[in-house]
Structure 1
Amino acid sequence: MKALKWWLAVLSVAALPVHAADFKLGYINVERIYREAGASIAIYKRLDKEFADRREDMKKMEARAKELETLLGKNSLPQEDRKRYEREYASLDRDYRAKSREIAEDYNQRRNEEFAGVTERANRLVKEIAAREQYDLILQDAVYINPKFDLTPQVLKELDK
């Protein structure tokens, strides 16, 4: 879908008359906005706090798994203890994988929820900039853009107001 949008944008630019010197093009790096905007940084900090306890639980599980690996690596371990540790390790591994997926899914969902507002505000600002400065086309995805067309710093500045 992104490729189709990109090609349509390229075709629309290519269809412009060569003498259209007043054509104004801009570019927005959305990933950079998500990384650098003050609101984005605040979201990441908030999410880190929100998920800190769950990540700490995961670290405890990792530590216990390492302990079990060390115990299982000993040749002098009685067979009964070895089987018990192997069962515990298998159970721990299963729980760890399930919790890891759950945390990743929950984190992505929360991040998407939080960034919906940033995206909406950034899009509104881009439209305002486009209208105010009379841009004909503003792209979000491209393989290469000359830095002179990059409006990202301007959008970041206005987002942080």
Structure 2
Amino acid sequence: MKYPSLKAVALSAMLSASAMVGAAAQAQELKIGYVNSERVIREANLAKAVGLKLEAEFGKREKDLKDLESKLRGAAEKLEKDAPTLSESERSRRQRDLVEQDRELQRKRREWQEDLSQRKQEEMSVIVDRANRVIKQIFDAEKYDLIVQDAIMSSARVDITKKVIDTLNAQK
């Protein structure tokens, strides 16, 4: 028994859906909206405040890491310059120290990056939750039939992203 291809099934489903949408559109006008989530996260005042909050929270650690990296680089350059005059044992000891300091720097950098990523995720989830609540409010208040986030293509006629951003910005 031959089974229909995935393309054939998808095409059939799309044609059926478009026929149903076409019939529904004739019966009553559909109200559809589109929200660009990336733009909401990028432009909302709440998102900008989160960026400043994270900068304040993680900025000192980042500066400390850069300072530590600078010191390590300086020590490596000093070792390279002093190497010809050092004894073999002293040169080996300094190289081991540099390797150990570099490992410690990499460990601290990884920890900082993981902590920053986790905090970003936490803060972004708050923004997404609030944006979704705003979208739900707009959906209910303006009696939308469908609101889509992150569509491949949309016309400016159905784009309600600015309305979502403005509503988010108006909230305290």
Same fold (TM over 0.5): yes
Q: How is 1:70-149 mapped onto 2 (pairs within 5 angstroms)? A: 70-74=77-81, 76-78=84-86, 79-149=88-158
Out of 17, 20, 24, the position equivalent to 1:16 is 20
Structure 1 gap ranges (5+) = 1-6
1:35 corresponding residue in structure 2:
42
Query: Is this contact kept in 2: 1:71–1:77, CA < 8 A?
Result: no
Cα 1:150/1:80, change in 2 over 3 Å = farther
Cα 1:64/1:23, change in 2 over 3 Å = same
Task: Kindly provide the amino acid, as one letter, of the partner of residue 158 in structure 1.
Answer: T
Whole-Å separation in 2 of the counterparts to 1:147 and 1:80 = 71
Structure 2 gap ranges (5+) = 1-9
Whole-Å separation in 2 of the counterparts to 1:13 and 1:60 = 60
Q: Aligned pair count?
A: 153
Task: List structure 1 runs of 4+ shifted beyond 6 angstroms.
Answer: none
Once the two structures are TM-superposed, the CA of residue 50 in structure 1 deviates from its matched residue by 0.8
TM-score (norm 2): 0.76
1:156 corresponding residue in structure 2:
165
DSSP-derived class of the 2:153 partner: coil
**Higher Rg:** 2
TM-score (norm 1): 0.80
Cα 1:35/1:77, change in 2 over 3 Å = farther
Identity across matched positions, percent:
35
Alignment root-mean-square deviation, CA: 2.5
